[in-house]
Chain A
Amino acid sequence: MHLATSYHPQNKHEDTILSPLRRITFVDRWLWAVLLGVMGLGAYAYSRQWVFGLGVTGMNRPVYWGVYITNFVFFIGLAHSGTFISAILRLAGAGWRKPLTRAAEAITLFSLPFGVASILIDMGRPDRVLNVIFYGRFQSPLLWDFTAVSLYLFSSVVFFYLSLLPDIALCRDRLTEAPLWQQRVYGFLAFGWQGRPEQFHRLERVLDGMAIFMTMLVVTVHTVVSWVFGMTVQPGWHTALIGPFFLLGAIFSGTAAVVIALAILRRVYHMQEVLTVSLFNSLRKLLIVFTLGWLYMMVAEHLTQFYGSLPDEMEVFWQKFTGAFAPLFWLMFLIVFVLPLIIFVFLGKNRIGWMVAASVLINVGMWLERFLVIVPTETRPRLVSTLMAGMGNYQPTWVEGAITASLFAGMVLLYAVFTRLFPVVPIWETAEAVEAETLPARPRRSLFGMRRSR
């Protein structure tokens, strides 16, 4: 049992934020069942791959990376949303980010494991994954990747947990009507948090410090992910620009994912007063900047390639612009840049539906962009003349489709369950500033008004 001396910040929206936690609806159970069904289909597809090998996929010589590695890069990119919103904007002192930090961090937390899973799924022999530890050699970018992604996942969990801690304690104290197992989970995870001013003070200091570290990590992680490609001497990959290009794309798609998640939460959980339209407008401005930044990167990348006109590079270049991948490439350009920019500038202001539409387009387009970075180079590698008849093609199979669908279903499922168990808007961070006269003992900060728990 928790002590009776727990104190919590006063937040007028507390009941609204906690209401999704008070009951699980029939629709929730159906949604979870459907998502589990999709995951089951993915598990069946993977069992086929396990038994018959990677031959059941569309991968072949020399296309060794296909949809799975596209998913890996995409999920790691999505994971940048939380760190961007929570850490980078925290450092920038952007106060408006507070209501949306947790929803963004949750995307980070629940997309990273599926990024890691994509790598394991892509391995012909996943049982050998621990060889990275036993026989790892640091000259391999794959090991840099393993180190960076592991540290990022671990740090994200800690960063997320620490910012959730005061709200877990609040759930422990407020949700006394919740099932016993749920109350025990809150009691365990709260670790005796009592909401003392000094605890809040220290928590803020640690989160500020971690925000700096997380910002460095976010740059490192996606740069290292890009180096898995960039450190090879393959056309289209071997460029110094690939790191910043991947990083910007990651933050771009991650921020668009936050808009989608927030809009759904706002509608489903009736949080119109908490997640206000002005928040979406702020994100809209950021997305306009990112859209233009992405265009800049695209032009810089492809103009350099075109101007150099190296034969190997141009094989890949023309594959994208006029060859087999041209329809996908121009579709990607349309839905990542043209349509979103038009929507954000002319239609999106104060209209959440339009912003969500643009964000969905951006995310579909960014997945395609990852695909177009990876596959055209694989089908036209350096020394393209060594390709024999029938080589250099890639057509994903139903196995890859089913596994991809199951990964996305898994991420949505974890997110949906999370929103029913923990406050999806940080209650303590969005608490009103109240004079500290009600503090229990020698207050050191006046940010939070405290009151005894019920």
Chain B
Amino acid sequence: MSIGEAIRAFFTSAGPGGMVVITVIGLAATVYFLLTRWILRGGEQNEEERRRFK
């Protein structure tokens, strides 16, 4: 199958479109989860140090 045919099949076959949707939403979910965790962990080290010196 040539590249042109493969690209054409991507757009005209039943199925690949759904995979795109799942990939986009899945990727967004992963990124948002990591960002939220990163925010919540902000300053954890400072807090630990502060407690240790108390």
Please list the residues of chain A having a beta carbon within 8 angstroms of any beta carbon in chain B.
5, 132-140, 143, 146-147, 150-151, 154-155, 158, 162, 165, 191-194, 196-203, 206, 440-442
- Grouping DSSP codes into helix (H, G, I), strand (E, B) and loop, the B interface class, with mixed when no group exceeds half, is helix
- B14 pairs with A440, CB closer than 8 A: no
Q: CB < 8 Å: which of B20, B24, B42, B49 contacts A196?
A: B42
Kindly list chain B residues whose C-beta atoms are within 8 Å of the C-beta of A199. Answer: 39-40, 42-43
Name the CB-closest residue of B to A132. B18
Q: Count A-B contacts at CB 8 Å.
A: 98
Taking the nearest CB of chain A, how far is it from the CB of B26, in angstroms?
Answer: 10
Kindly list chain B residues whose C-beta atoms are within 8 Å of the C-beta of A193. Answer: 40
**Interface size class, chain B:** 20 to 34
- B47 pairs with A196, CB closer than 8 A: yes
- A203 pairs with B28, CB closer than 8 A: no
Name the CB-closest residue of B to A159. B32
- A147 pairs with B21, CB closer than 8 A: yes
Taking the nearest CB of chain B, how far is it from the CB of A330, in angstroms?
Answer: 41
Cα distance A328–B20 in the bound complex, in angstroms? 41
Q: Is B46 an interface residue (CB 8 A)?
A: yes
Indicate with 1 or 0, residue by residue over B22-54, a CB within 8 angstroms of chain A CB atoms: 101100110010011011101110110110000
Residue of B17, B19, B28, B49 most packed against chain A (CB within 10 A): B17
Kindly list chain A residues whose C-beta atoms are within 8 Å of the C-beta of B47. Answer: 5, 194, 196, 441
Within 8 A of A (CB), among B1-24: 10-22, 24
- B17 pairs with A138, CB closer than 8 A: yes
Q: CB < 8 Å: which of A154, A192, A197 contacts B40?
A: A192
Taking the nearest CB of chain B, how far is it from the CB of A228, in angstroms?
Answer: 15
- A151 pairs with B24, CB closer than 8 A: yes
Kindly list chain B residues whose C-beta atoms are within 8 Å of the C-beta of A146. Answer: 21
Q: CB < 8 Å: which of A135, A165, A206 contacts B18?
A: A135
Name the CB-closest residue of B to A148. B24
Kindly list chain B residues whose C-beta atoms are within 8 Å of the C-beta of A441. Answer: 43, 46-47, 49-50
- B24 pairs with A147, CB closer than 8 A: yes
Cα distance A442–B17 in the bound complex, in angstroms? 50
Q: List 23 A-B contacts (CB under 8 A).
A: A5-B47, A132-B18, A134-B15, A135-B15, A136-B15, A136-B16, A136-B18, A137-B15, A137-B17, A138-B10, A138-B20, A143-B21, A150-B25, A151-B24, A194-B47, A196-B42, A196-B46, A202-B38, A206-B39, A441-B43, A441-B47, A441-B49, A441-B50
